[in-house]
Every structure is written in structure tokens, then in C-alpha cells.
Amino acid sequence: MKILVVGNGGREHALLWKLHRDAPEAELYVTRGNAGMASLATSLPLDPGDIGALAGWVEANGVDLTVVGPEAPLAEGIADAFLNRALPLFGPSKEAAAIEASKAYAKELMRRAGVPTAAFATFTELAAAERHIRERGAPCVVKASGLAGGKGAVVCRTLEEALAAARAMLGEAAFGAAGQEIVVEDMMEGEELSIFALTDGENVLPMLPAQDHKRIGEGDTGPNTGGMGAYAPVGIVDDALMERIRREVLLPTVAALREDRRPFRGLLYAGLMLTATGPKVVEFNARFGDPETQAVLPLLDSSLLEPLLEVARGGSIAGMELRWRPGAALTTVLAAAGYPGPVEKGKEVRIPAWVREAEDVLVFHAGTRLDDGRTVTNGGRVLAVTALAPTIAAAAARSREAAAAIEFEGKQFRRDIGWREVARGAGAS
């Protein structure tokens, strides 16, 4: 079997790792792979966004399955191009991926489907947005409707902050085309939750609940990032709550997309807020999340390849079940100096032998590359250090230990990933 993973970050490294475990004899390929992927997959000199070249290579080389990691190729229609050539690909069509690529569309879809979410309004003109913000007041959240690398949502505690965010997006093009339309929504209070669900367009197969940490600073302070760490499972989520999420969020959303003639086949990621009145959707993504994937997949005991193949080939996942290993996983992201702003690249990364060889630690590479046999930094988020342990508290301690032992100039990381879980005692040893 031949499998191609599109993308080259920490999420894609975790996908390669899991697919290799599911099918050790499979030939794995990746687009412009990073330094950590070399032992798992053959790196192709093709960009993740070069859809025509990717489809041509897959067709010419008889690839059995393509798995898309990042959102941009999905939003650009890679699934449609592959479908036109009868090439099995796991990921939604361009029309279905609009649930991530257009927050405005996603909110309207939820409104029509009765999926719980915050009250909102959408705008393309600054004057109308400013008028609404003044009338509605703060706190609120101002979001770029398009793809903004996980950084397009601005939490505004004051009226001035909200007006400034709207002006930056609509008046100053701070997020380029992604901010030409904005969503202004009421702020929701509670804990955030990440739920992945495999879907064939009708049935859904939810994965373990996870929680990520978006802010750069400890105590969830500072600017938003693509994610500084994550853990799974989440102690406050029981079977009853998962069933409620399946019934009130996942199934209605998949049904609404199908009714909209945008059947969603792939991985639907629901970012939720657990409010006092129940779970509400913050946003949807059309692919595996990063860094939650690096925490969730190491806990998956059953095959990931099997449902991915079934969905990619147009089949049904009805009756399939996922099995999970006991215990917990926690991921700490190591970032370059300056992140989430501009960063310097080319800093040598040194991973101690004990970290590389530990059975309870997995180091997933994100922003790295090989330079004359050395591993060097090549992006903002450099590594994702996942530890496996019986409890969240133990996994957190082990992940911090390994993260501290890895060296590169300017390294920054949070030492409090999973703090809510530990604080409430659910992760106590």
C-alpha cells in the first residue's frame, strides 16, 4: 500500500506515525517533509498547495490513499481535483471545507440547523461593523471570516479593542483577503473543548475529547498562537456530554451540509465552549487540529487507516468503533524566539538520546529541516513533545521534563499545559 500525507508540520508527523503503526509495510510519502519525518516517509519535492502536481504524481505512482493535513489545500479544492481523477483522498470538497474557510458561512449554517453557537453578525463594510459594535457593546469576539492560520480571532474586553480589531481587519487589511469579511459575535464564557469526528457525510465517529492552549503565555495570557500544547482526554467530559455533542452539534451539522449539497467527508473538528447552558460551537475546522492531533492519536489503539480508507473510497463508517488505550497524553509545543511574530530560522536543535529513546515520550517535528545532517529550526512552532502516562498530571510532568531537556537557541514553551485538569484534581497521581 502507498499512502501520501499532504503537509509537513507536527500534525502531519503524528499522522505518519500512526499510519506507520497501522500499516508497517506501507510505503509512506509526504510533501517536503521536515527533519523528523525522514525515518517514516519519503519526502517529495512538491508543495502541499500544488494540487495539479500532487494529483499527477499520485496517479502516476498508484497511491492508494492521500490524507490532507492543512486547511489551505482543502479550501483550494484538492479533494475535488482528486475525485475528478478517481483518486482516493481523505478530506472534504472545497464546498464542504467552507465550514472552515468561511466563518460567516459556518455561522449561517449553524443558525439554519439550530446548532448552538454565540449570537453574531457579519460585515464587509467597516462603518456598519463599527455601528453594530457600538450598539452591541463589549465584551465580544471579532473574527476574520477567512483562513488566518488560527490567529484571526480577537477577544475584545472593551469597546475600544473591538473597534480597533474591526478597523485592523476591514480598514487596514491586517489579515489580507481573510479579513475582507468579519464576524462579530458575543463572547462565551466557559472551558474550550476540541472534538474530532470522522464522518462519511452521514455517520459520525467522534474521537477522544481534547483541550488545547492557544495563548503564548502561561496562565493563558498573551497573544493567540496556532497552539502551544494540548492534552487528552478531558476529565469533565463524560459519555452523556459526548452523546449530547454528537446529537446537538455533529449530526445536525453534517446533515445541514448534506442538505446544502456540500456533503462533508473527512475530519470535522468542532471547537466548543462548555457554557453554563451546555456546549456551544466556537468554530469548525475541516481537518485534524494541531497540536491536538499529537495528543489524541497516540491514545488511539484501533486503526486510523481503516476508517480513513473507507471514507476516502466513498464508503460508510456505520458500525465502526474506535478503541482507546487507558491513561492520558499531553503535548508541549516548543516554539522559536519571537513566535507568534517573526522568527529566526536555522538554529540547531539538540534532542538528548534519552528523549529519543523513551517509550513514554514522542517528539513530533513541526518547523524543522535537515542542514548537512543537523536538525535546525525552520518555523515558529518547532517541536511537539507528547508524553503518555496514567494521568494528566504525570503526563504533564514527563512532557515538561523532556521539553526542558531539548535545546535550541531562543526556545520558548509553556510549563502549565493541562493546568485546568490538574487544578481540578482529575489528573492527580
Determine, yes or no, domain membership for 274. Answer: no
Last residue of a domain, one of 51, 73, 92: 92
Q: Where do the H-state alpha helices sit in 102-144?
A: 103-113, 126-136
Q: Where does the pLDDT of residue 149 fall: very low under 50, low under 70, confident under 90, or very high at 90 and above?
A: confident
Same domain, 53 and 16: yes
Determine, yes or no, domain membership for 45. Answer: yes
Length of the chain, please? 429
Q: Is residue 394 within a helix (H) or strand (E), and if so which, with residue range?
A: helix 392-405
Same domain, 75 and 151: no
Span 258-286, average pLDDT: 97
Determine, yes or no, domain membership for 97. Answer: no
CA distance 282 to 258: 21
CA distance 73 to 4: 14
Q: What is the pLDDT of residue 152?
A: 86
Q: Tell if the pTM clears 0.85, that is, is over it.
A: yes
Burial class (CB in 10 A: 0-12, 13-18, 19+), 289: buried
C-alpha distances (whole Å) from 168 to each of 126, 160, 175 are 10, 12, 8
Same domain, 84 and 127: no
Give the pLDDT confidence of 342-369 residue by residue, as tens digits: 999 999 999 999 999 999 999 999 999 9
Q: Is 46 helix (H, G, I), strand (E, B) or coil?
A: coil
Give the pLDDT confidence of 278-330 residue by residue, as tens digits: 999 999 999 999 999 999 999 999 999 999 999 999 999 999 999 999 999 99
- Residue 141 maps to which CATH number? 3.30.1490.20
Determine, yes or no, domain membership for 378. Answer: no
CA distance 109 to 329: 34
Same domain, 143 and 75: no
Same domain, 54 and 131: no
Determine, yes or no, domain membership for 153. Answer: yes
Whether the bond between 233 and the residue before it is cis, its omega within 30 degrees of 0, is yes
Structural domain tally of the chain?
A: 2
Q: Give percent of the chain with pLDDT exceeding 70.
A: 99
Same domain, 38 and 80: yes
Number of Cβ atoms within 10 Å of the Cβ of 253: 24
Q: What is the pLDDT of residue 352?
A: 98
Span 239-254, average pLDDT: 97
44 pLDDT more than 70: yes
Q: What is the pLDDT of residue 151?
A: 75
Tabulate helix, strand, coil % of the chain (nearest 5).
35, 30, 40
Q: What is the pLDDT of residue 427?
A: 43
**C-alpha dihedral sign at 389, 394, 395, 401:** negative
Determine, yes or no, domain membership for 212. Answer: no
Strands 42-44 and 374-377: unpaired
Determine, yes or no, domain membership for 32. Answer: yes
Given a contact cutoff of 8 angstroms between Cβ atoms, the answer to whether 59 and 85 are in contact is yes
Q: Where does the pLDDT of residue 148 fall: very low under 50, low under 70, confident under 90, or very high at 90 and above?
A: confident
Give the pLDDT confidence of 175-204 residue by residue, as tens digits: 999 999 999 999 999 999 999 999 999 999
Span 148-173, average pLDDT: 91
To 5 degrees, how large is the angle CA 93–CA 99–CA 102? 110
To 5 degrees, how large is the angle CA 300–CA 303–CA 306? 140
Determine, yes or no, domain membership for 416. Answer: no
Last residue of a domain, one of 186, 202, 226: 186
Span 120-130, average pLDDT: 95
Question: What is the extent of the structural domain holding 22?
Answer: 2-92
CA distance 335 to 355: 18
Structure-block grid coordinates of residue 202: 452521514
- Concatenating the DSSP letter of every residue in 277-316 gives TEEEEEEEESS--TTHHHHHGGGB-S-SHHHHHHHHTT--
Q: What is the pLDDT of residue 428?
A: 44
Which residues 6+ apart lie within 8 Å of 84 measured at CB?
A: none
Q: What is the pLDDT of residue 133?
A: 96
Q: What is the pLDDT of residue 253?
A: 98
Q: Which single residue is written with the C-alpha cell 479550501? A: 75
Burial class (CB in 10 A: 0-12, 13-18, 19+), 137: exposed
Same domain, 22 and 71: yes
Last residue of a domain, one of 75, 92, 109: 92
39 pLDDT more than 60: yes
84 pLDDT more than 70: yes
Q: What's the mean pLDDT when you consider all of the chain?
A: 96
- Residue 43 maps to which CATH number? 3.40.50.20
Span 386-414, average pLDDT: 98
Which residues 6+ apart lie within 8 Å of 19 measured at CB?
A: 3, 5, 26, 28, 67, 304, 305
